[in-house]
Structure 1
Amino acid sequence: MRGGLVTPVFAAFAVQDLGLSTTEYSRFVSGLSIAAAVIGVALGPFIDRFGARRFLMGALIVGAVSHAIGGVLAERTNDLVAFGAVAVVVYLVGQVVFITVIALFMNLCWTKVAATQFAVYMALANVGIATGGLLFVPFADHLSFGQDFLVMAGLFVVSALGLVFFKEGVHAQRLEALKARAARM
């Protein structure tokens, strides 16, 4: 859901409060997105080695903190360097969250129907992004940019709390039972 908020909020804040032109902002975000993707690829082996769940929890915590810092900074200063630093962390965290969620989704897939399951998971992720944007619309004009960042920080906290209750091992047991049943048929 946070993905549906971050794009319009960052763009509006950069242009309206920091005085960047749309071209300057687009150039900055494009470079940042490419750098985050490259770093995400480099982190892939570490995510595999140390566990997607652990990386996801870490990214959610760092995401909550960085968005909270962004919220405080947005209310107190229009410092381009501070915004840039927060943006770098936010984009990197977003990439790590994306990669680790995909890794967790892949662990949930039964190989026999993995393509279908993965398509459903990705569709749900996209629906979550769109839903976040839609749910934010009624409140967007009533919140300051600082409050927008705090809402996003709260979404990271809620996601981290949800991850605490997510039991991948239980699903793995169900997959093993499905495999055993399919092998008998």
Structure 2
Amino acid sequence: MAKEKNRQKKRFSRILTDNALTRYVTFSALYTAQGIPEGITFFAIPAWLAMNDKSAMEIAAYVGVIGIPWSFKILIAPLMDRWTFLAMGRKRPWVIFGQLGLIISFLCIGLIPDPLNNAFGLMAAGFFISFFGAFQDVATDGMAVDVIPENEQARANGLMWGTKTIGISASLIIGTWLINTVGFSIAISSLSIAVAMIMIFPIYFKERAGEKLMPWSPGEVSSESKQTQLRSWKHIFKSLYKVVRLKSSVVFGIGAFVIGLMFGLIDTLLPIFSIQELGWTNTSFSNAFSITTVIGGFLGMFIGGYLVDYFGKIKMLSVYLSLLIILIAVFGFMTNLWSNNVVVYGFILSYYTLYTFLCIAMFAAAMHLCWKTVAATQFTIYMALSNMGRATGAAMLGVLKTHYSWEIVFLIIAIMPLIMAILIRFINFDKHRVTVDSFVILNQKFAAPQVIKD
């Protein structure tokens, strides 16, 4: 009886490091919170501006400004690795701060007078939403690397990526409906309610046993946090250099950039290709995008993580990349079937499903390569390289389309997953993990010796 009682207690633990269900639910909720601002700021508001006859230049300027904070992630991450309120956990205080900033930012954007003709105010509010969205993203990723065991990383990433996709699609659909129904200010501000509800999770759950729930609560710094927390910029960057210079880390970083090229090329290509080449309307493309990404998100949640867990990261990365090579190349040759909407829908659905599965496997691989001491910064470097690839790929499309036909462009894009498929053959996760684990001695040597009191 006592054993069953302890089992139930463990099952419903409020400690992230003690309970798998707690980890899955908490990180799924936090990734949903990441999707909400992206769906509104990057999709719903630009569509609303376009509907009200704003020029492409004005809309592009808005999107450009709100995209700037996401490049700050590489600067935010070292700050989180360097400073925190350890008594509440290594990353949980930052998650709460980012979530609170999102709530306030959503409320502020609803207070902008005449947002349709107030470009500066709209950009400023959108900038801060993106800033706190990026802030929460880095903090959540860092906490995930800290508390999710290796054998759960793929499954957790499946849930996280799927719920983020659902958050983007849901906020886009609901936000657009609210804007058209009750007006911009009330619609956008009301989304702060959803973000506030999600804030319950980082407030209610703790990273490790014995830590403070809030600054005024009883508790103390866990021994594990003291061992992994560094308090010197020199040692942080020295530790970061030691892990990112390892062969597997370098190869994965190059691969992340290369596959980011594919992401950027396809994301930029599809709306232009479907509207200008196939004669679709922007509404038709938006519907196709929403439906296929949600389907891909659900499949990723319930299948993607399990496949990586069962077959392994390298094997599933190879499978996904091989399927993407075939899919993109074959579609490039099927010019006579491009007029068939079923074929095009099938391509978009297949691509975004494989895209979701590939992202899940890549996130799990990136987490496995991280050293907990500098996890937020190291993981952010991989994501930053992928984002740099996306931006470069988007810029490349204009040059490629100027000189080549759509068929050749598709074939060139298919080269990107081929390159990464070759690169991952040089990654050895087991050898990398052994080397990283050996750094623990160095980490203990330079960890903060003082004990933080209640």
TM-score, normalization: structure 1? 0.92
Corresponding residue of 1:106: 367
Q: Does the aligned pair in 2 maintain the 1:2–1:155 contact within 8 Å?
A: yes
Q: How high is the sequence identity, in percent, across the aligned residues? A: 26
Residues 163-178 of structure 1 mapped to structure 2, 5 A cutoff: 163-178=424-439
Corresponding residue of 1:89: 350
Decide which structure has the larger Cα Rg and report it.
2
Could you tell me which runs of 5 or more consecutive residues in structure 1 were left unpaired when the two chains were aligned: none
Counterpart-to-counterpart distance in 2, 1:94 and 1:6: 10
Q: Does the aligned pair in 2 maintain the 1:67–1:152 contact within 8 Å?
A: yes
Could you tell me which runs of 5 or more consecutive residues in structure 2 were left unpaired when the two chains were aligned: 1-260, 447-454
Counterpart-to-counterpart distance in 2, 1:123 and 1:63: 22
Deviations 1:16-68 (A, max 9, x none): 22221111111111111111111111121232232122111100000000001
Residues 111-150 of structure 1 mapped to structure 2, 5 A cutoff: 111-150=372-411
Counterpart-to-counterpart distance in 2, 1:108 and 1:120: 12
TM-score, normalization: structure 2? 0.39
Structure 1, 142-151 or 91-100: larger mean CA deviation: 142-151
Q: Does the aligned pair in 2 maintain the 1:75–1:145 contact within 8 Å?
A: no
> Are 2:334 and 1:61 aligned?
no
Corresponding residue of 1:16: 276
Counterpart-to-counterpart distance in 1, 2:397 and 2:429: 30
In angstroms, what is the RMSD of aligned CA positions? 1.7
Counterpart-to-counterpart distance in 1, 2:338 and 2:358: 28
Structure 1, 58-67 or 148-157: larger mean CA deviation: 148-157
Counterpart-to-counterpart distance in 2, 1:40 and 1:74: 30
Deviation, structure 1 residue 169 = 2.6
Counterpart-to-counterpart distance in 1, 2:403 and 2:410: 13
Q: Does the aligned pair in 1 maintain the 2:313–2:364 contact within 8 Å?
A: yes
Deviation, structure 1 residue 183 = 3.7
> Are 2:298 and 1:38 aligned?
yes
Change (3 A) 1:41 1:76: closer
What letter matches 1:7 in structure 2? D
Change (3 A) 1:75 1:163: farther
Counterpart-to-counterpart distance in 2, 1:4 and 1:46: 26
Match of residue 50, structure 1, among 291, 297, 311: 311
> Are 2:262 and 1:2 aligned?
yes
State the SS of the aligned residue for 1:19: coil
Counterpart-to-counterpart distance in 2, 1:151 and 1:169: 33
Q: Does the aligned pair in 2 maintain the 1:73–1:82 contact within 8 Å?
A: no
When the two structures are aligned, how many residues end up with a matched partner? Answer: 185
What letter matches 1:11 in structure 2? P
> Are 2:287 and 1:27 aligned?
yes
State the SS of the aligned residue for 2:280: coil
Q: Does the aligned pair in 2 maintain the 1:47–1:55 contact within 8 Å?
A: yes
Q: Which has the higher helix share?
A: 1
Q: Does the aligned pair in 2 maintain the 1:18–1:79 contact within 8 Å?
A: no
What letter matches 2:263 in structure 1? G
Q: Does the aligned pair in 2 maintain the 1:74–1:145 contact within 8 Å?
A: no
Deviation, structure 1 residue 78 = 2.1
Deviation, structure 1 residue 181 = 3.1
Deviation, structure 1 residue 6 = 0.2
Structure 1, 3-12 or 72-81: larger mean CA deviation: 72-81
Structure 1, 45-54 or 18-27: larger mean CA deviation: 45-54
Q: Does the aligned pair in 2 maintain the 1:75–1:146 contact within 8 Å?
A: no
Q: Does the aligned pair in 2 maintain the 1:67–1:149 contact within 8 Å?
A: yes
Q: Does the aligned pair in 1 maintain the 2:268–2:397 contact within 8 Å?
A: no
Q: Does the aligned pair in 2 maintain the 1:59–1:97 contact within 8 Å?
A: yes
Counterpart-to-counterpart distance in 1, 2:301 and 2:436: 28
Counterpart-to-counterpart distance in 2, 1:75 and 1:162: 34
Structure 1, 28-37 or 137-146: larger mean CA deviation: 137-146
Corresponding residue of 2:418: 157
